[in-house]
Structure 1
Amino acid sequence: MKAKLTIGIGLVLLASGCGNKEEKKMEIKKEEPKKVVLYQVFTRLFGNANETNKPWGTIEENGVGKFNDFTDKALQEIKDLGVTHIWYTGVPHHALVNDYTEFGISNDDPEVVKGRAGSPYAVKDYYNVNPDLAVDPAKRLEEFEALIERTHNNGLKLIIDIVPNHIARKYEGKTNPKGVRDFGADDKVTVEYKRDNNFYYIPNQPFQVPISENYKPLGGEKNPLIDGKFDENPAKWTGNGSRLAKPDFNDWYETVKINYGVKPDGSKDFPELPAGFDKKDYKEHFAFWKDKDVPSSWKKFRDIALYWIDKGVDGFRYDMAEMVPYEFWSYMNSAVKMKNPNAFLLAEVYNPKEYRNYIRLGKMDYLYDKVELYDKLKEVVQGKSLPDPISDIQKGLEDIEHHMLHFLDNHDEQRLASPEFAGNPEKGKPLMVVSTLISSSPTMVYFGQEVGEAGNENGGFGTHSRTSIFDYVGVPEHQKWMNSGKFDGGRLSKEQKELRDFYKRLLNFSIKSEALMGKFQEIQSSNRDKTEGYDPGIYSFVRWSDNEKLLIVTNFSWLTTSSFELKVPADVISKWKLKDGNYDLKDQLYNQSKVVLEVENGVGKVKLVLKPLESFVYQL
């Protein structure tokens, strides 16, 4: 049956649990599994109180956030939202259009910088941080080190980006540790490929700046470096793999591809993992690589990761990880885990056929669950799909479900509240319930999501529906919560305060619930064709552990109130070890209602009424 949906929230049967104290740095122990909530902040934008939002505005016109904006108050409010980890996006020093020559930093050519503030994924110096983010650019690294300490002191762990697939076209390590050579410093540039070259080259051809009829760097503003030229001879392969000296404007022309010992024909020029290593732990992977001769780029990125681990960073989000061979990830991630067994390693991977390789062979902790759960939830909220296929997705990922990070909003995707996605933040609530509670995997929230930020601004290079990562902009709904640095939500509307309260209740429940680290079973198929009043927008499942029994029912419809008698199948009742009788279920999210689970002849039933966009949280 196919039916067009309209959307809403749901019913969740939940319970209590406990978290772990953060270990002391010198006493790292393997942690007990618990639900993780990752809060992504675009560091440049988080603390910016300027509301000008002029397209292509300068840093002076539109403002910029700083490391120091993450005050103890701000960090406590983030933690109190139900967050365990914070992802500071855009920390490494990347190419940007601002003059920091007085600090020994060269100017970047606007023709190979996206936007004015620059892409965080065109890193210019991996051993230092973005000078835009510092009150005193000369002390930018010290200011970030203070933020690391402040984050930990407020009970949060933190990750930053590492982008091994590509770097800025003009990479300059100004503060390299002793003995560290820049990327490409020792390359033989007269050949396309050499194993220990850091780049691929296009011999005898200079790089040519791509052209687009509809685009002018800096929006057409004059700049002495905008002359149609960029000094790179011979040209290097572009970050997305383009082998043209003049890449297309839609290529990642601001970056260059890193060579990991993969020959131009795709064959591997490095040792491969023996059969059976998908079942071995990081210690055995580390031991395997210890005496192996590996390409130069492997060592460079391993050393970068270990540098930041030594600074106190708790892990990394790896950009476009599937464009780098998983053997390298085995090499680097095992080295990271030897330093910190609890390091949080998250990878951007979009090919489901490769998920298990990057988890089991590449030793990733978590991958984006984008092309399956995220895409399906987006279809459901837009009325393009019933929610039933969610069950098939969970079944297909059953063996790796813990490793598939769930999100509904991030810097790459259209904002959840935007017209191009859910249309308004209320319609995002049922998606958030399912995304957060359906598996033991981490949940990620993008800053501003919890107050309904819709990304309506056109920053210059960036366009509406996504909060720009290329421009100096403010984030309007987030700024209302920030309230000029008070971080008290003082300018939020009543509806926004209620929305943030919803996120706070849901996320805090999730990090305490023992059952959410337990087992999953869908009960959708037991109700879809057999339960009267079980409308097309309803989706249901159960979660449980020895001590908690959770029932989740969600109404994705934003128009239809559904009244029905939910059936809990006999195999669930048996697994829960329930005898015939009545069991009270109490709402845990808002503590406003009670219903009764009736068990008769080993089968359960619960009378429910779900209004449009309504959620309940019940505990057995």
Structure 2
Amino acid sequence: MTFGRVTGNNAVTWEPDRCDWYETVKLNYGYNFLAGLPALRLLPDWTSPKQKVPKTWRIMDDILSFWQGLGIGGFRCDMAQMIPMAFWKWAIARSRVRLPDVFFMAEAYNDHLKTTPGDPCTALLESGFNAVYDADCYHLAEHVYTRGNWANDFDRLFRSEPQYLTHGVRYVENHDEKRVCSPIAWGGTGRTILPAIMTLVYASGKGPVLVYNGQEVGERAEAPGGYGGHNGRTSIFDYTCLPQLQTWVAGGRFDASLLDEDSAELRDFHARLLPLLQHPALDRGDFYGLNWANMKNTTFGREPAEDTSGHWVYAMLRHHAHSTVLVVGNLSPTINFYNLCISIPQHAFNWCGIQTEKVRARNLMWKEGKDRLFDRSELMDRGMAYPLKPGEVGVLELSEA
């Protein structure tokens, strides 16, 4: 035997380096991965009842069956693009015989480890997954603070990837990425911007959202979490602690009064936003970006030296049946857009079916807020006045009045 083991990231060596996944062992799914994509053609036709499948397939199916038998109704599959699509089709189909609405979510990336030509996320959806990670949305949001992207850039992303509107898993934190509130990530302004980033990322799609452990109290990952050191992450694989979350848990008391003011406010914001995502317009609605209609609008969050709007402010409509929701966020960590106005063009009103001259706006984030009435012509011309402090958002239900 030349090599005794292969690491989880396909390193065939007796001496894996510190970045190899040496704590994992690659499973044999019935093909020679060293031969590349052509070897996948040798996998069995799983749709044939007489065709035997590889032993590993049967073992993995037994594992899925075991957990389903304990009442587990969903699975997150790590680096799913590394596994043959033929296996996923077979395994997910068998899982749905046992439980028709079992949920499969794929963490997957279009990288050199994929086992399919083209975009593996598309192949995974075709294989039966309910949702796949929308890494592009995460990175675009991050790049607003690290690479100079504008809020306007979200329009291009949302329009060009329709599959992610429906099946994309939207997130602002996961175990692989730096914490938003870490002092060394997101320009060091995470606590201020997290509400706006989270709202725009979560509210722009129909797919599921991911809330990472401790996100709701603003974990900062300041202490070294194992061998990763001071890298802005809580941990990759090592055991560690979550100081902010532990303060709230308090030995099982779950007492928000023990949190500092910033953490308590952030947790309250999560408690208000996440239920709103079940609103019909946000859960099942189509998407309409408004930034294109406001780029010449001087009151749409424009800095003094800029001649185009949409650097820090993003606005969108979501619409389903008779429900329409306007979402707007100030992504700036420092600028107070006290004179912000959002123009809604005639085309948008036609799109969502609002034709009356009076338009009612109900603030969904604050139950104590009063409804506001606007002239539709005013919203098309001057726009809706909605001042936003740094990191603030508005989620408003629009209806005919």
Q: Please, what is the CA RMSD of the aligned residues? A: 2.2
* Structure index of larger Rg: 1
Matching residue of 2:320: 545
Matching residue of 1:317: 76
How many angstroms apart in 1 are the aligned matches of 2:288 and 2:201?
Answer: 15
Report deviation, 1:368: 0.9
Matching residue of 2:389: 611
Q: Is the 8 A contact 1:531 1:567 kept in 2?
A: no
Matching residue of 2:141: 377
How many angstroms apart in 2 are the aligned matches of 1:240 and 1:576?
Answer: 47
Q: Is the 8 A contact 2:105 2:132 kept in 1?
A: yes
Distance 1:584 1:601, change over 3 A: closer
Specify the SS of the correspondent of 1:504: helix
Distance 1:386 1:272, change over 3 A: farther
Distance 1:328 1:463, change over 3 A: same
Distance 1:606 1:242, change over 3 A: same
How many angstroms apart in 1 are the aligned matches of 2:49 and 2:166?
Answer: 29
Report deviation, 1:412: 1.8
Report deviation, 1:247: 2.3
Matching residue of 1:387: 151
Report deviation, 1:455: 1.1
1:248 to 7, 14, 17: 17
Q: Residue by residue, what CA displacement relative to the aligned partner does 1:77-119 show, whole Å, maximum 9, x if unpaired?
A: xxxxxxxxxxxxxxxxxxxxxxxxxxxxxxxxxxxxxxxxxxx
Report deviation, 1:523: 1.2
1:417 to 181, 184, 208: 181
How many angstroms apart in 1 are the aligned matches of 2:88 and 2:62?
Answer: 13
- Per the normalisation by structure 2, the TM-score is 0.87
Q: How does 1:565-584 map to 2 (within 5 A)?
A: 565-584=341-360
Q: Which has the higher helix share?
A: 2
- Per the normalisation by structure 1, the TM-score is 0.57
Amino acid at match of 1:409: E
Q: Is the 8 A contact 2:280 2:320 kept in 1?
A: no
Q: Is the 8 A contact 2:5 2:25 kept in 1?
A: yes
1:492 to 237, 253, 259: 259
Specify the SS of the correspondent of 2:141: helix
Q: Is the 8 A contact 2:281 2:318 kept in 1?
A: no
1:257 to 22, 26, 30: 26
Q: Is the 8 A contact 1:483 1:490 kept in 2?
A: no
Q: How does 1:224-373 map to 2 (within 5 A)?
A: 235-263=4-32, 264-266=34-36, 267-268=39-40, 270-271=42-43, 288-351=47-110, 353-360=119-126, 362-370=127-135, 372-373=136-137
Q: Residue by residue, what CA displacement relative to the aligned partner does 1:47-76 show, whole Å, maximum 9, x if unpaired?
A: xxxxxxxxxxxxxxxxxxxxxxxxxxxxxx
Distance 1:331 1:533, change over 3 A: closer
Report deviation, 1:457: 1.7
Q: Is the 8 A contact 2:44 2:52 kept in 1?
A: no
Q: Does 1:455 align with 2:232?
A: no
Specify the SS of the correspondent of 2:75: strand
Report deviation, 1:415: 1.1
Q: Residue by residue, what CA displacement relative to the aligned partner does 1:566-617 show, whole Å, maximum 9, x if unpaired?
A: 2212221112222352222121102436544431299473222222222222
How many angstroms apart in 1 are the aligned matches of 2:256 and 2:340?
Answer: 38
How many angstroms apart in 1 are the aligned matches of 2:312 and 2:85?
Answer: 40
Matching residue of 1:600: 377
How many angstroms apart in 2 are the aligned matches of 1:292 and 1:460?
Answer: 46
Specify the SS of the correspondent of 1:600: helix
Q: Does 1:408 align with 2:183?
A: no
How many angstroms apart in 2 are the aligned matches of 1:501 and 1:250?
Answer: 38
How many angstroms apart in 2 are the aligned matches of 1:289 and 1:298?
Answer: 15
Report deviation, 1:461: 2.1
Q: Is the 8 A contact 1:381 1:556 kept in 2?
A: no
Q: Residue by residue, what CA displacement relative to the aligned partner does 1:259-308 show, whole Å, maximum 9, x if unpaired?
A: 212223121254467xxxxxxxxxxxx8x254322222111111111111
Distance 1:393 1:417, change over 3 A: same
Matching residue of 1:56: none
Report deviation, 1:496: 1.6
How many angstroms apart in 2 are the aligned matches of 1:485 and 1:294?
Answer: 47
Report deviation, 1:520: 0.7
Q: Is the 8 A contact 1:590 1:616 kept in 2?
A: no
Matching residue of 1:60: none
Report deviation, 1:453: 0.5
Q: Larger deviation: 455-464 or 384-393?
A: 455-464
Q: Residue by residue, what CA displacement relative to the aligned partner does 1:286-344 show, whole Å, maximum 9, x if unpaired?
A: 8x254322222111111111111111111211111111111111011111111111111
How many angstroms apart in 1 are the aligned matches of 2:242 and 2:35?
Answer: 45
Matching residue of 1:433: 199
Could you list the runs of 5+ residues in structure 1 that have no partner in the other structure? 1-202, 206-233, 274-285
Distance 1:602 1:585, change over 3 A: closer
Matching residue of 1:524: 291
Give the length in aligned residue pairs: 374
Report deviation, 1:515: 4.2
Amino acid at match of 2:212: Y
How many angstroms apart in 2 are the aligned matches of 1:378 and 1:490?
Answer: 31
How many angstroms apart in 1 are the aligned matches of 2:319 and 2:238?
Answer: 45
Q: Is the 8 A contact 1:531 1:566 kept in 2?
A: no
Q: Residue by residue, what CA displacement relative to the aligned partner does 1:484-525 show, whole Å, maximum 9, x if unpaired?
A: 221122410122211111110000111244443111111111
Higher relative contact order (CA 8 A, sep 6+): 1
Amino acid at match of 2:11: S
Q: Larger deviation: 592-601 or 443-452?
A: 592-601
Q: Is the 8 A contact 2:363 2:396 kept in 1?
A: yes
Distance 1:463 1:437, change over 3 A: same
Matching residue of 1:474: 241
How many angstroms apart in 2 are the aligned matches of 1:244 and 1:472?
Answer: 27
Q: Is the 8 A contact 1:289 1:331 kept in 2?
A: no
Q: Is the 8 A contact 1:483 1:489 kept in 2?
A: no
Amino acid at match of 2:40: K
How many angstroms apart in 1 are the aligned matches of 2:348 and 2:379?
Answer: 9
Could you list the runs of 5+ residues in structure 2 that have no partner in the other structure? 111-117, 303-310
